Structure 1
Amino acid sequence: MPHKSIHPASGAQFSIESGQYQAVITSVGATLRSLTHAGRDLVVPFQAEEVRPLYRGANLVPWPNRIADGAYSCNGKDEQLPINEVDRMTSLHGLVLWNNWELRAETPSSVTLGAVVEPQAGYPHRLEIEAAYTLTDEGLTWRVSAVNVGTGAGTLPAPYGVAPHPYLVAGDGRVDAWTLTLPAAEVLQVTAERLLPTELADVAVHDGGYFDFQQARELRATKIDHAYTALPDAALAEVRLSSPDGTGVLMRWNPQVLPWVQIHTADRPENAWNRIGLAVEPMSCPPDAFNSGKDLITLACGERHDASWIIAAL
């Protein structure tokens, strides 16, 4: 007898609310499917029946962004991960994107989901992962934690990185009409074909300030798919995105925990998704950190890492 699915393609749906905020999180990937304030979208949503388009609202662990050729060395051993970005020959955005996460806790305004990264080819470590979403009148707090729970005596340290992948929405229209404030002084240059990192550049002088949004300015036709760093030495970093009609959205986080942020203008000229939102991805490490070691976290057996960020309406 054929098996009958009890959930839509994106998994079980968990709706939370507080004040004028509402959010829906799905069990597949513990994905933020929608977030609204007073009925206005703050992130690009998708339908419950859809397979998640691209990486909208995904959790990127145990690494964000790209690993070149899926290859790296760790603990004296060469590792090879599966390639899931075939056109660029990279391993992209971690290992929990399509896990069906388990419900760990739920209230009317919060939900916590959990998953396990099992030891596997290319990543021989076991991690317990939790994603917790909490709404208050101040917005959505989204927290991701990871613990290296080990695979027996003498467990080796696990390389680790984390980021979210929301596409922020300022208001009506597309990215071109919105104004971005991004307090980052350096941008990581990348190769044209594979978007692999080369060197850091000062945003104020590189390409005539093309990537410089330290002072608020309209995005217009700017195309970005780059990691930024050199965030302010402050308790919180804050990215703001506003529209001409006065609405907007912000994202804030601790730059000591997440010293990088990937910005992507969602350039998809081949379909209707073109520039409909701005990906803002606070990251614990830059692209290809499993090879460069830059800001790479190493979790010893029993060690825990926590990172969080807030999305709120302007």
Structure 2
Amino acid sequence: MFAIKKRFLGTFTEVFLEDINTGVCVSCIPDHGAQLNHLNLLKNGKSHALLWSAHTAHEFTEQSIPYFSGSHLFPFPNRIDGGRYSFNGDKLKLNCNETSNYNALHGLIFNKPFELQKTETDSAFAKAEFSYSTNTRHPGFPFLYTIAITYTIFKNKLLVETRVRNNDDKKFLFGLGSHPYINTGTSINKLLVQHPGTSSLELNNRMIPTGNTTPDLRFLKAYTLGTTTLDHCFVLSPNHKMAVTRIIDPIKNLNIEIRQENSEGRYNFLQLYTSPDRNSIAVEPMTCAPDAFNNDKGILFLEPEDTYTSYFEIALT
């Protein structure tokens, strides 16, 4: 039977949805962007930890937060060049929190306080919804909105749904992304990666797309990472199906699938990032490209009082 529990992680509260009989669980930090932390799923009667997770307050503040581990990204994932863009004739400026490249990085909600709105549990699953609403207009994104993150965990799958509502009287532009780091305890040098992308965006020395794409067929079949370093955004052509990225651990016989909606206006971009310590790989579903506020690749628009919903899954097979 699934249950919902809380614990303190320093000054933060962590909410767990867990099955105490199997060890299956998911947790998030509502006070910090409803950030995904733990995920354990079941295979052959045994639960397996699948994410780079913080077990202490020190790990969360010193590792998870700086690397955006498990963060949700809105109104843009990845980067905005110099934090500058124009919309509806207005020139807007976002804070450049990536100081090394002088870019705006990963949106505006990753550290915002979300509130637990509702929960549901039974023997097969647990569900919890967290939301955050603006009541003032940010100078770099002067719009009012509500964003809700819903986690639904089953024995061998996590469903993550994001819902955005425009509470303003004017249309706004946006993109979504999430930033989970897959970590099985095995060095990523020994992992295999497979996904349907056949090209990646060419980036300049500040990690901003140049407008060109680079063919890349390496991952159409399971590809052993070895010493490969990745910080690449792959383009996934909309096909009205789920785009599936597989992270395969041959040592532990684990096949982790990150399944993202792959149709018009959904998660049609995939960012892969290998951690410097070679212990985890970020698999990031995104609805748009880096710098989408300027290049329009995958950019979405939401009319007043309208709502947008999309989802991705992490499954263990």
| TM-score of the aligned structures, taking structure 2 as reference length | 0.87
The answer (yes or no) to whether the contact 1:25–1:34 under 8 Å persists in 2 is yes
Moved more, 172-181 or 278-287: 172-181
* Unpaired segments ≥5 residues, structure 2: 1-6
Residue by residue over 1:36-87, the C-alpha shift from the partner in whole angstroms, topping out at 9 and shown as x without a partner, is 1234211111125232331111100111000000000001100001110000
Name 1:78's counterpart in structure 2: 91
Distance 1:248 1:174 in 2: 15
Name 1:42's counterpart in structure 2: 50
Name 1:112's counterpart in structure 2: 129
The answer (yes or no) to whether the contact 1:20–1:137 under 8 Å persists in 2 is no
Distance change >3 Å, CA 276–CA 231, structure 1 → 2: farther
Name 1:308's counterpart in structure 2: 311
Residue by residue over 1:207-235, the C-alpha shift from the partner in whole angstroms, topping out at 9 and shown as x without a partner, is xxxxx211111011111101101347251
The alpha-carbon deviation at position 203 of structure 1 amounts to: 1.0
Name 1:271's counterpart in structure 2: none
1:226 aligns with 2:232: yes
* Aligned-pair Cα RMSD in Å: 1.7
Distance 2:238 2:138 in 1: 38
The alpha-carbon deviation at position 26 of structure 1 amounts to: 1.1
Alignment of 1:266-305 (within 5 A): 266=275, 268=276, 274-305=277-308
The alpha-carbon deviation at position 185 of structure 1 amounts to: 1.2
Alignment of 1:1-314 (within 5 A): 7-9=8-10, 11-18=12-19, 21-27=24-30, 28-37=32-41, 38-49=46-57, 50-51=60-61, 52-53=64-65, 54-108=67-121, 109-117=126-134, 118-150=136-168, 155-169=169-183, 171-191=184-204, 193-198=205-210, 199-204=212-217, 212-231=218-237, 233-245=239-251, 246-256=253-263, 257-266=266-275, 268=276, 274-314=277-317
Residue by residue over 1:123-150, the C-alpha shift from the partner in whole angstroms, topping out at 9 and shown as x without a partner, is 1001100000001134100011101101
Amino acid at match of 1:33: N
Distance change >3 Å, CA 277–CA 10, structure 1 → 2: farther
Distance 1:85 1:190 in 2: 16
Distance 2:238 2:167 in 1: 34
Amino acid at match of 2:145: L
Amino acid at match of 1:112: E
Distance 2:273 2:188 in 1: 10
The answer (yes or no) to whether the contact 1:16–1:22 under 8 Å persists in 2 is yes
The answer (yes or no) to whether the contact 2:238–2:268 under 8 Å persists in 1 is no
* Unpaired segments ≥5 residues, structure 1: 1-5, 205-211, 269-273
Q: SS of 1:276's equivalent?
A: coil
Distance 1:42 1:215 in 2: 22
The answer (yes or no) to whether the contact 2:37–2:53 under 8 Å persists in 1 is yes
Q: How many aligned positions are there?
A: 290
Distance change >3 Å, CA 178–CA 10, structure 1 → 2: farther
Amino acid at match of 1:228: F
Residue by residue over 1:234-267, the C-alpha shift from the partner in whole angstroms, topping out at 9 and shown as x without a partner, is 511101111122123111021111111111112x
Distance 1:306 1:73 in 2: 25
Amino acid at match of 2:15: F
Q: SS of 1:88's equivalent?
A: coil
Q: Percent identity?
A: 25
Distance 1:227 1:133 in 2: 25
Write 1 or 2 for the structure with the bigger share of strand: 2
Distance change >3 Å, CA 138–CA 41, structure 1 → 2: closer
Q: SS of 1:291's equivalent?
A: helix
Amino acid at match of 1:227: C
Name 2:3's counterpart in structure 1: none
Q: SS of 1:87's equivalent?
A: coil
The alpha-carbon deviation at position 8 of structure 1 amounts to: 3.3
